[in-house]
Each structure stands twice: as C-alpha cells, then as structure tokens.
C-alpha cells in the first residue's frame, strides 16, 4: 500500500457505516515530536472525524515530557501508541530489543503519560503478554489498550497456549482494555468460523465493557474492508445483548478515549483506525 491515505479516503471507506466518532491512531510515519497530530489538526480542522487522536512516541526518550506537552496543545490528543513487538521470529520484531517494558527509561516515560491522564496503546506479541500484564499491575492508574487482540500470530499449539495464558493474565488487570482489530494473522478475510473462538475467548474474559472494535484502516482494508469486519464481528457477537454489542462497537471507545458525541443510533460504532499492522 505505497500511497498516501488522505482524510477523503478514510471518509469514503467508512461511508454507510453510520460512524459517529473516530480515533486517529499513529501511522508509523516516522514523524518527529508532535508533528503527526499537528498535521491531523491542520487537515481535519474542526471536522467531527477523526474526533480524537493517539500519537506516536518512544517512551524511552529523555525528552518525553516536552514532547507530551507539545502533543497536548491539540484538543484531539488522548494517548500514545508504542510498538513493543519482539518475537523469536525476526519478521515480528518492531523494536530494537526485548523486555523494553522493564527498562527504567520506559517506566519513566510511562509515568509521565500517567500524570497527564493519557492512554497507552500497546502493540505486543503473545510472548510479551505476561510482561504487559505485570506492567499493568505495577501501574494501576495507567489505562492500557492492548491492540490487535494481542497479535494472535499462531504457528503451533504452543503459540496458541502462550497467547491464551497471556490474555488471561492481562484480563485480570482491570486497567487493560482490548481492541478487537487487526485480525489478519488469524484470517485475512475475518471468516467467522475462524475468528469466532479467539474473539469469544477474549470477550468472555475481558467483558464487553473492556473491549472495542477498531478498523485498522487503511492496512486491514487490503484484506478485509470495514463493512465486512462489522458484519462478521456482529455475527460472532450475536450471542450478546444489544447493550453489550453497543459497548464493543461504541461505548467502550467513548469511555477510554473520552469522546464527546451525540449518539443518535442504537448501535453506532466508533472506529479506531490504527494504521500499523
């Protein structure tokens, strides 16, 4: 997908889905400081979409505090996402070393995030979920959003068990929330017979009030467009009540990202279009 993805493209992709609010999540664009959110404010202006934003920042940086201050000049700013992915498979290494969550520099940056009341969006691999659960337990005042269902990139039964054990540990921490997003490692087309079991497993553990759907636009669009995601996920979640489905498609995101909007439709979803797979 080697082309620009503009606001008009996003609006075209969600047309017909009755979207009442959305969360822009950093696009792994290599932007310096707070410039990515500054750019978003410039192109979106006072438009309702995207409603709020999550920026990118390596929390190990010594200048975390002034960069966060720059981010916070935007009224859209709600959090920071950092990819911590490290795996035995080189293709799943998106950071320079393992165990970053344990290093003092990272912990100091996370503390600054907590003081500002900002959300921490985390990308990790299944082998890092226990470490993330420990991080959440040791930082109970920090809201953490686990992206992409904890990256269920399974190659063996051992991988599946490692993911399941880590998901259970994260679910026990009440400050961890789950994004049902980026399901392409399970199945590129989000076929219900394949995503059903892991999605239900997660929702049963976290509860609908701590789960939210996110579109992962534009990356996921290459494999499963948002209207298909919604339809297939609605089928998988058909055993839930209307109120519980409303949480996953709308209310949880409103709460976590402090989105103010008038919800006119009973199941109006709120997209969280994370751009990094």
Give domain 7-28+38-256's CATH architecture.
Alpha-Beta Barrel (3.20)
Q: What pLDDT score was predicted for residue 198?
A: 98
pLDDT number for residue 261:
66
User: What's the pLDDT score for residue 159?
Assistant: 92
Which residue ranges make up each domain of the chain? 7-28+38-256
Mean pLDDT, 10 residues at a time, over the chain (277 residues)? Answer: 87 92 92 94 90 97 98 98 96 96 98 98 98 98 98 93 98 98 97 98 98 96 96 97 96 96 49 43
Q: What is the pLDDT of residue 263?
A: 46
Q: What is the pTM of this model?
A: 0.93
What is residue 29's predicted lDDT score, i.e. its pLDDT?
Answer: 84
Q: HEC string of the chain?
A: CCCCCCHHHHHHHCCCCCCCCEEEECCCCCCCCCHHHHHHHHHHCCCCCCCEEEEECCCCCCCHHHHHHHHCCCCCEEEEEEECCCCCCHHHCCCCCCCHHHCHHHHHHHHHHHHCCCEEEEECCHHHHHHHHHHHHHCCCCCEEECHHHCCCCCCHHHHHHHHHHHHHHHCCCCEEEEECCCCCCCCCCCHHHHHHHHHHHHHHHCHHHEEECCCCCCHHHCCCHHHHHHHHHHHCCCCCHHHHHHHHHHHHHHHCCCCCCCCCCCCCCECCCCCC
């Amino acid at each position: 997908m080697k082309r620009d993805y503009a606001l008009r493209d996003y609006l075209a992709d969600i047309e017909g889905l009755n979207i009442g609010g959305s969360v822009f999540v950093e696009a792994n664009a290599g932007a310096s400081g707070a410039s990515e959110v500054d750019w978003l404010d410039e192109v979106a202006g006072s438009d309702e979409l995207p409603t709020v934003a999550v920026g990118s920042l390596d929390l190990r940086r010594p200048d975390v505090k002034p960069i966060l201050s720059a981010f916070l000049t935007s009224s859209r700013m709600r959090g920071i996402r950092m990819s911590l992915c490290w795996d035995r498979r080189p293709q799943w290494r998106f950071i320079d070393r393992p165990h970053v969550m344990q290093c003092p520099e990272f912990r100091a940056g996370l503390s600054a995030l907590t003081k500002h009341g900002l959300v921490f969006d985390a990308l990790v691999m299944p082998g890092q979920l226990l470490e993330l659960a420990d991080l959440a337990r040791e930082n109970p005042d920090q809201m953490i959003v686990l992206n992409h269902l904890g990256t269920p990139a399974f190659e063996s039964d051992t991988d599946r068990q490692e993911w399941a054990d880590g998901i259970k540990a994260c679910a026990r921490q009440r400050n961890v929330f789950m994004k049902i997003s980026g399901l392409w490692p399970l199945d590129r087309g989000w076929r219900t017979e394949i995503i059903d079991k892991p999605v239900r497993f997660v929702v049963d553990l976290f509860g609908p009030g701590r789960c939210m759907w996110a579109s992962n636009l534009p990356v996921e669009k290459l494999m499963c467009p948002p209207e298909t995601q919604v339809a297939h996920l609605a089928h998988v979640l058909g055993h839930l009540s209307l109120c519980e489905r409303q949480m996953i498609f709308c209310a949880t995101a409103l709460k976590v990202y402090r989105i103010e909007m008038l919800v006119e439709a009973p199941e109006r979803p709120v997209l969280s279009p994370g751009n990094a797979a």
